[in-house]
Amino acid sequence: MSEQPVLEVAGLEVSFPGKKKMFGKAAPIRAVKGVSLSIQPGETLGLVGESGSGKSTVARALMRLIEPAAGRVTLKGEDLTALKGSALRKARRNIQMVFQDPYSSLDPSALVADTVGEALEVHEGLKGKERDARVAELLELVGLAGHHLERYPYEFSGGQRQRIAIARALALNPAVVVCDEAVSALDVSTQNQIIGLLEGLREKLNVAYLFISHDLAVVRHISDRVAVMYFGHLVEVGTVEQIFERPAHPYTRALLSAVPIADPVRQRGRKTAILSGEIPDIVNPPKGCPFASRCEFATDACTEKMPEFRDHDGSSVACYHPLENSPTSEAFALSQ
Amino acid sequence: MNVDNGAVLLQTSEPTQQPVKPLVSVKDLSVEFVTDHGWQRVINNVSLEIAPGKILGVVGESGSGKSVTSLAMMRLLPKQGSRIAGGSIEIDGEDIQSLDDKALSQMRGNRMAMIFQEPMTSLNPAYTIGEQIAETVRRHKRVSSKEAWKRAVESLDDVGIPNAAGRARRYPHEFSGGMRQRAMIAMAISCKPRVLIADEPTTALDVTIQAQILQLLRSMCEDLGLAMMFITHNMGVVADTCDDVAVMYAGEIVERAGIYEIFAQPKHPYTEGLLRAVPKLQGRSELASIPGTTPAPWDMPPGCRFQPRCPYAVPECAESPLPLRQIADRSSRCLRVGELDLKASK
C-alpha cells in the first residue's frame, strides 16, 4: 500500500438543483456527501450499494462528466478538479468508462473500427491503416477477431458488444477504467466470460478498475477492496474478505444477508434479516445516520449526527455501533 | 413411455394420496414466430403443470423461451407474426385457446394475472394507484365504485404498503421501485386470481427490496392457494422461492425436478452448467461459463439442441431429437442421463 494511488478522491460532494418551491429558493439535493476513496495501480475497488445510493454519480463526478460541488479528484498525481478544456480532455485519457448496456452505449450506425478507433484519431492522430491495425490489436486483446472491424454493433451478441465497449475504453491505455454495472445486463455464463476478460486485462495492462455493481457476488469475485454506499454516503470500506466475511456496518450485513444463495438447503435454513422500510427521502434527508431508521442497533446518537469514519477490526466504517465479528457471532452467521 | 411429454405432477405420486388437480396444465405447447427465415418454431413441445399453492420456477438464459411460454399462456402473443402451432393450455379448468376475446378478458386479471419486471412501464402514470386497482376490480366484479375502491385499499394493505388508504391516492411516480412492484402485485391479486405468472418480478429491484417481495409472493401463494409460475434467470431467487424448477434451453424444457433435487444433483448438463456459473458469495472460486451461444431457431443443431456446447456430448447425441424422459419423479432431455454423475458445483 506504500505505492502512490493512481486515483484519489477526497471529500467528493455532488448536488443537484432541487424542485423550486412557490416561494423562496430551491434547496439543492445532495446526492453524494463527502466521499473519499483511493485506488492503487492495478487494483480493483468494488463500489456497491442500492439504486439511488450515489454509486454512478460518484463515477460521473470523478470523471467530471458532472461537476462536483466540492472535493478533489487526483488522477496519476494530477488534480482533475482544477483542469479545464484541452488539459482536462488530455487528462481524461487516463480514465475511461464501460457502461451497463452495450445496446445503447455503442453507436448503431458506426462501424466497430470507428467506434474503437475514434479516440485514437482524436488523441493520437492515428489514421487509416495505422488506426485500423491498432483497432485490430485491441479487438484481439478483448477476444474478438480482427475481421470484425467492418461490422456494425447489431451484428454482435450482448457479450461481444461489451467486449467492443471494453476495447474502446482501453484504446488509449488508461490507468483507470470505471465499469458501471458493466456485466449486469448479461446472462450469467456470458457475464463470467467478461469478468474473466477484465481480470486478464488487469494482469496484462496493470489497469485499475472502479467496479460499480449492485451484484454482490460479482463484486466478491473481481474486487480487491470494496466500498459500500448508502444514501450518498460511504458507510464502509475494507478488503473483500473483511467486507464479505466480517462486515462491520449493519447495512453491509443486511445487504449481504439479502442476497439469495443458490442452494435451497442453505438459503432456507439461513437466518436472514429482512430489512423493513426504505431509503429516506432525499429531499428531506435525516440529520444523523441515514440508515438509522432501518437499523436495529440505532440509538439517539445515530439520529443526531452522521458518524465519522473510523477503523474497526481492519476495515473503515462510519457507524457508532460497528458489529463485532467472531465466527460464533450472529453477524457472522447472518453473512454466511 | 412418455415421449416428449415431461409433465410431472407436483405432488409425489404416492398411491394413497389424492392427487390435487393442477391449476395450470400446459401440454406439448409449440409456438412459432415469423422471421426472415419464414415461420420458425421458438417453443417446442413444452409441458408443465402447477398445483394450487405451488411455485414453479422457470429458468434459462435470455432467448430460451421462458417469457414466450408465459405470454402464450396468457394469450398475450401478438396476433400478427406469431401463432400457437400445437398443444393445449388449460388454466383453472379453462381451455385458454378456445376462449373468445370477451371470455379471455374476463379470464385475464380475474382468474389469472401477470406481473412484469418493470413496474413503472406497467402502471399508467396519469392515474392514481388506487384508481388503477379499482378499475381492474370493477372490470371483473360487479361491485360499486365505492366497493371497488375499498378492495383496492385492502389489496394494497395485503401487500404490506403502509397507510394504504393514503397511498392509494398517490401516483406511480410518487412510489419507490419496491412500492411500485408491491402495487403491481396488489393489482394482480385484487380480483383474487387462482393463477399468477410472475416474469422476472424482482430483477429490477435492489436485493433488500427483492427479499421483501419474495417473502410476500411466497406467503401470498400459500395463503391464497395460488398456482404461480415464476420466471427468473437468478438461481438464488429460485433456491429461495420455488417448489419445482423447469429449465428451458433453446425453446424446450430440458429438465424438470423438485427444488431440492435439482440443486442436489442436476440431471442435464445444461442445468449443471447454469448452476456452476452462479458466482458464489462465499470464497472466491473459478467462475465457470458455458462455451458458445444459444442457437437461433432457424439454425438448430441436429439431435440434442445443447449437444454442440455440451462437455459430455457423444456422436449419438447429434443423431435424433431427444424426448424429455421421466426418471422417477423428475425428467431430463439427455441421452446420457443414466451414466452421467452431474454436480451443481465443481
C-beta atoms surrounding B204 within 10 Å: 18
Cα(B24)–Cα(B72) distance, rounded to whole angstroms?
Answer: 13
One-letter identity of residue B211 = A
C-alpha distances (whole Å) from B133 to each of B101, B149, B164 are 22, 8, 12
Task: Tell me the sheet residues that pair with B52.
Answer: none
Task: Tell me the sheet residues that pair with A78.
Answer: A75
Q: Is the pLDDT of residue A334 over 60?
A: no
C-alpha distances (whole Å) from A332 to each of A257, A270, B127, B207 are 10, 12, 46, 19
Q: Who among B234, B263, B289 is closest to A264 (CB)?
A: B263
Cβ B226 vs Cβ B218: under 8 Å: no
Whole-number mean pLDDT of chain A?
A: 90
Burial grade of A259 (CB within 10 A; 0-12, 13-18, 19 or more): buried
Cβ A226 vs Cβ A48: under 8 Å: yes
CB contact under 8 A, A259 and B281: yes
**Cα atoms found within 13 Å of the Cα of residue A27, Cβ hemisphere only:** 7
CB contact under 8 A, A188 and B274: yes
Predicted confidence (pLDDT) per residue in A16-41, tens digit? 987 777 777 778 889 999 999 999 99
pLDDT band at A8 (very low <50, low <70, confident <90, very high): very high
C-alpha distances (whole Å) from A3 to each of A39, A41, B135, B164 are 10, 8, 64, 56
CB contact under 8 A, A196 and B287: yes
The pLDDT of residue B8: 45
Contacts of B280 in chain A (CB under 8 A): 217, 220, 262
The pLDDT of residue A333: 52
Provide the percentage of residues in chain B whose pLDDT is more than 70: 95
Q: What's the mean pLDDT in A308-329?
A: 82
Burial call B168-180: b when 16+ CB within 10 Å, e when fewer: bebebeebbbbbb
CB contact under 8 A, A262 and B210: no
DSSP state of B117: S
ipTM for the whole complex: 0.85
Element (H, E) at B167: helix B164-167
C-alpha cell belonging to residue B59 = 429458468
Q: Is the pLDDT of residue A321 over 90?
A: yes
Element (H, E) at B113: strand B112-115
Query: Nearest chain B Cα to A277, which residue?
Result: B209
Q: Is the pLDDT of residue A326 over 60?
A: no
Q: At what angle do helices B129-140 and B145-158 cross, to 10 degrees?
A: 120
Q: Which of A219-233, A270-284, B72-86, B294-308 is least confident? A: A270-284
CB contact under 8 A, B211 and A51: no
Cβ B278 vs Cβ A188: under 8 Å: yes
Burial grade of B106 (CB within 10 A; 0-12, 13-18, 19 or more): middle
> In which residue ranges of chain B is pLDDT below 70?
1-19
A265 Cβ under 8 Å from any chain B Cβ: yes
Cα(A292)–Cα(A251) distance, rounded to whole angstroms?
Answer: 10
Length of chain A: 336
The pLDDT of residue B171: 94
The pLDDT of residue A283: 81
The pLDDT of residue B17: 56
The pLDDT of residue A2: 54
CB contact under 8 A, B289 and A192: yes
C-alpha distances (whole Å) from A262 to each of A207, A215, B138, B146 are 32, 14, 41, 45
Closest-CA distance, B86 to chain A, in angstroms, reads 29
Q: Who among A193, A254, A262 is closest to B289 (CB)?
A: A193
One-letter identity of residue A130 = E
Which residues, 6 or more positions from B289, have their beta carbon under 8 angstroms from its beta carbon? A188, A189, A190, A191, A192, A193, A196, B273, B277
